[in-house]
Structure 1
């Protein structure tokens, strides 16, 4: 573990005016708070906060961030409190520590709805102070470096979360070095065989061709010396994960990959960047279509550099990145460059992005998302996206994510332009709407009066803004169809309780639920924004309640628990009477009943003391056991109504219905059905499978849902 004086020395290397006493105080306080705590590896726990602080010194960050790193687990894992941290180290540090604590408690890899909400919280934390994310990324980086001490299943879960969330976030912030290391550490866990294979290929390649990096670096230096340009030249082989991703994207074998080496030329001025580009293009042949000028068109996170791919020695392709020293600092640190220090002073790098403006740019369109799924789609797209720059016919620049189409371009100009788009011209030539746009292309959108968005556009568009606008338009256009569908759902739901869905009854239900009229109620029913059971409950709460069957008390259907002991059915496997079951005890709550074949039981194999032998009470059970059915049906008039009728005819209640996927020719839905037992389930599924418009049907079990 780094001792406090060595840590202070690391900070003094870039900030001689650091408050050494504050860092010592935080170091000793954190050490005291974590006394007696150990990591999975057996090391004292405080080695982790110290390592996180050391990582942040590599980014030359301010004292408040370093102190936050030392204290980032105190409020969560020790007896320390917010008020105590604020009293000892100031409100700024306390706010940062509290922000890191809240981020640590977010379950970013949970179910979609929860994940979307937690992403919102993550973005809110970023908007308050981006240093919270810098500490969290350093925290995740050290945890990934020491991940071997965790059980294999936790390693896999952490690695997947790192690959899906933290690595792209680091990349979106411009912290490419952090992103590459996080990706490679996660890759090592998720696919060790592939990583080892790539490293082995590299060793073989170097044995066959010698040190290509050293030779090409020397060649570039020689050409620059001839031209009288002073610059630093660096070369390296690309990371294993970067190579693996290229192999997957391009469907190429390792032997056919060409640009597996990268080189950087760091100059003294912007003018020298373009002089270097000229020298390189004179000496080596440029690869068509592999040139990007991020100096004239910088990325939103401040990244500036010229990327040129050329054919080097022996015809091998190499990528050369050219930038100034100030640009290089932003390229290495990204948005974090805003807080960097040098010689005791905050560095005023003209290329460093104001974090507040960057966050506003990142989130400006998220508020247009109408639901959790759209929000999640938008935020993940923003984190993963690279950019292309296209031009309007008047010469204005439009920024779009990599892979964007003319449809995305049209909606980026204006929603009205997107909705009325019929075709597009790229560089003067008419192209299909699904064409992928490239840097520097000029795009003209052709519109027509009366044109409306098509359902197929959802699959063509890439940006969240375009997808949201298309969905909104389709919802408005399909309103009449949803109203008809809602009428059928309402009819079935009302008949289930012995009532009729009259216009008066629907108007009353709409008024009770705070909706303007019955048409709006039916439209929401048809679009699955509202469940039919909720409408029935609004009018007939007593009838909507599920009453116990005569033979068996619905409150005590399980034998083997103590009298009066509360329990719950597991959400993951949704066991029903007739299936073998077992109960698992959970701390702070009653037992939870799982089906005996539930995969979630694997994690309790080594804890037999938590298992309780239980069984269902014999006899006729009431239809109170909810089961999820994953069903794909053809998109034809009346099909969903017939499906609902079939379920009702089997004396089963549809408690909820959710559209998972909508295509021009089919719908995929999750239907929640209340059943008596496994035989009742079999009867319902048999009736549905016999319907010609049912393409697929299966019992849906979601292991990501908590018990």
Structure 2
């Protein structure tokens, strides 16, 4: 039986004359599912099982694509169809139906021929081992680069599924930074897979839906692809919480009938009022997504009946000034709710979205939300960055949106250059994808959009990495403020820098943006490299001694070790161990294997390693060794060390409850440590006092601490309202445990002090 060609528009899973030697079909990865019926307007039309058609795709492409480009697309289809011959989805349809569906979604955005070709070819490298060079030869370098950016890295062996997933996202996002079409095709791919997820096993549904909600939904929102954003949210919600989704969908259907009369009355009133004011406008109802309703119920602890604004209205006017005229007209029709007006036209969202939002009290006292925008704003709101291909014009708003997107994509490259590994890169990017944002101003009134919870340090790094690295202080609205202050809408932020200043490790505990976090970590790793190398060398020697290996390695062995560990030098390997990126015990077992032993069977006795060679702590090592803030160890305490990924060694007291919990989770990351003999610095310690509520007590206690050679760095007070007692909390600096004990004895003698003790985690 001859298989019809792309021009005739159908493909089946039967035999055909092959034009080239085919590779055997490989099994599909977890993320691909058989197609099912979708009610989405973007869904491809269904065809009988076993048949896939591109006739609908070619009809869409013919609307905006010339014959030459259309011919290239058909050629890509024929190649993809040949490569996927023999592969079927669980529904019985040939696998080619999936690339066609992805290409149709891209065609709805009117993406160019190269993007449509890449959509049709997006799985041939992954499934059929087609080389990038072959794609370059057949379809050109731009198409091959797009397909390569979309392909997973299945041939590389990773230490864990999490690491593999992180590396795949890193590759995809970096490809997207150079060409945003990569992520548009990937989102179309994910959308079709989510629409056809029903027949997958429950565990796989949960994993894929969770990944979609965590990564792909925020990316769609960040790029302004609101149609995709809303549909992916609802689809992920339906698989993550199927019972909740079903109950809520039933409630919305019932409410839709009950509120039809109210909605119709509002719609007629608004249309008539705007017409009387001489404003040309399209007015239509807009129903909230199920996930949007669910999220509001969860965040505000409401029942469904209390979520009154399930319905809203969109008003699309013909010009920018008429947005504000329409707003005034609506406010004269219904009373506005105080505090429920937002002007996203004057200050647009991070993804370029622009509209006026207002909530009015409609008939029967029902709150009704209105969105007012122009046609251009509406196209951007629905299609986001894809509108660049949809409507190629010189509109200033569109240009600005493209610039914002470019700036964010460029920040991905900056983060990649400063990030140690894929998991850290993904962590930083996910932080930046949260949609909530605040808008702050520079002293020259330039608006900077920051994620909610951002601090002045994030603000400084958003302006320039050099400013962030040299920040020493900040003023907010003309007043000095701590660097950890959370910024609020409308704040005017001014950063003071000093060329001799450097980032502090403590900044990592409160910065919010991925760019700031990666820049700080990069600087700390670079500036403290000698300390990390020394610590790593000591840790590896300890691990080698634990399995009875000599610490001095022969040169040939070092070369093999560096090649297999992808480290450029032995110092780099030591540094990775010193900052916790590699485990010394695992490197030691690798060395044992290279020497001819069975590395997997070598028992690594961590206790004997600790006894043999504890790491000496002096307290002045810098960021490669940190004293845990939960227990604040001081010389004289029994201590243990935890190797934290990319954060070096953290020292806890032996009885720290936090350390005990973490040690149960990751026992391999703990090593023996001891205090050095020459400690020429002071150490922080926390004490807590129970005192009588009487005049002058704080002054007497502070004076006694000073007399005992202690330095106070923090004072806090907790009131016990049931008694006439207060709790005082001090952070003080002492030399060691003996010094602290003497200070506590002296403070206990102060009149009015009932109890004093060292505060523990």
Give the stretch that moved more between structures: 156-165 or 380-389: 380-389
- Which residue of 1 is the match for residue 476 of structure 2? 425
Return the TM-score normalized by structure 2: 0.63
Range with bigger deviation, 207-216 or 410-419: 410-419
Q: Would the aligned equivalents of 2:176 and 2:409 in 1 still touch at CA under 8 Å? A: no
Number of equivalenced pairs: 582
Question: How is 1:303-322 mapped onto 2 (pairs within 5 angstroms)?
Answer: 303-322=353-372
Decide whether the 8 Å contact of 1:634 with 1:665 is kept in 2: no
Alignment partners' CA distance in 1, 2:369 and 2:651: 45
The whole-number CA distance in structure 1 between the counterparts of 2:305 and 2:151 is 46
- Please give the alpha-carbon distance, in whole angstroms, between the structure 2 residues aligned to 1:87 and 1:481: 50
The 1:388/1:215 distance shift into structure 2, 3 A limit, reads farther
The 1:369–1:25 alpha-carbon spacing in structure 2 relative to 1, beyond 3 Å, is closer
Distance 2:141 2:499 in 1: 58
User: Would the aligned equivalents of 1:18 and 1:63 in 2 still touch at CA under 8 Å?
Assistant: no
The answer to whether structure 1 residue 366 and structure 2 residue 366 are counterparts is: no
Aligned twin of 2:458? 408
Alignment of structure 1 residues 62-101 onto 2, 5 Å: 62-78=112-128, 89-101=139-151
Q: 1:536-551 maps to which residues of 2 (within 5 A)?
A: none
Deviation at 1:155, TM superposition (A): 1.8
Alpha-carbon distance in 2 for matches of 1:105, 1:238: 43
Distance 2:437 2:513 in 1: 11
Tell me what 1:675 maps to: none
Aligned counterpart, 2:105: 55
Give yes or no for contact 1:116–1:376 (8 Å, CA) kept in 2.
yes
Report Cα offsets for 1:400-454 as digits up to 9, x if no partner. Answer: 123323443344456657865566534x677776654343333356899999877
Closer, same or farther in 2 for the Cα pair 1:258/1:159, shift >3 Å?
A: same
- Which residue in 1 is equivalent to 2:406? 357
149, 155, 179: which is aligned to 2:199? 149
Tell me the CA shift for residue 230 of structure 1. 0.6
Match of 1:623 among 603, 612, 616: 603
1:44 pairs with 2:29: no
- The residue aligned with 2:664 is 698
Which position in structure 2 is the counterpart of 1:118?
168
Specify the SS of the correspondent of 1:148. coil
Question: Which whole-Å CA distance do the structure 1 matches of 2:193 and 2:419 have between them?
Answer: 36
Distance 1:92 1:114, change over 3 A: closer
Q: Secondary structure at the match of 1:187?
A: helix
* CA distance 1:194–1:436, shift in 2 (3 Å): farther
Instruction: Name the TM-score, length of structure 1 as normaliser.
Output: 0.67
CA distance in 1, matches of 2:121, 2:594: 51
Q: Determine if contact 2:150/2:172 at 8 Å carries over to the other structure.
A: no
Partner in structure 1 of residue 347 of structure 2: 297
Q: Deviations over 1:7-45 (max 9, x none)?
A: 322223344767444444444444444333210122222
2:579–2:647 contact (8 Å) kept in structure 1: no
Q: Tell me: higher relative CO, structure 1 or 2? Use CA pairs within 8 A at least 6 residues apart.
A: 1
Q: CA deviation at 1:239?
A: 0.8
SS of aligned partner of 2:213: helix
Q: Distance in 1 between matches of 2:658 and 2:407?
A: 53
Is the Cα–Cα contact under 8 Å of residues 471 and 495 in structure 2 kept in the other structure?
Answer: no
Tell me if structure 1 keeps the 8 A contact 2:415–2:519: no
Q: Which runs of 5+ in 2 are unaligned?
A: 1-46, 553-557, 608-627, 669-761
Which of 380, 404, 412 is 2:430 aligned to?
380
- Could you report, residue by residue, the CA deviation over 1:89-112 in whole angstroms, capped at 9, with x for unpaired residues? 454444434443358989999655
Q: 1 CA distance for matches of 2:328 and 2:258? A: 31
Structure 1 residue 528 corresponds to structure 2 residue 528: no
- Residue in 1 aligned with 2:216? 166
Q: Partner residue of 2:320?
A: 270
Query: Which of 639, 658, 664 is the aligned partner of 2:643?
Result: 658
Cα deviation 1:147-172 (Å, max 9, x = unaligned): 11222222222212211222222221
Residue aligned with 1:149, SS: coil
Query: Are residues 77 and 254 of structure 1, via their aligned partners in 2, closer, same or farther at CA, if it must alter by over 3 Å?
Result: same
Report the 3-state secondary structure (helix = DSSP H, G, I; strand = E; otherwise coil) of the residue aligned with 2:433. Answer: helix
Aligned to 2:282: 232
The question of whether the paired residues in 2 share the 8 Å contact of 1:108 and 1:161 is answered with no
User: Considering only aligned residues, what root-mean-square deviation do their CA atoms show, in Å?
Assistant: 5.0
CA distance in 2, matches of 1:155, 1:89: 35
Cα deviation for residue 140 of structure 1 reads: 1.4
Instruction: Using the TM superposition, name which of 217-226 and 84-93 deviates more.
Output: 84-93
Shift in Å at residue 190 of structure 1?
0.9
Q: Identify the match of residue 384 of structure 2 among 331, 334, 346.
A: 334
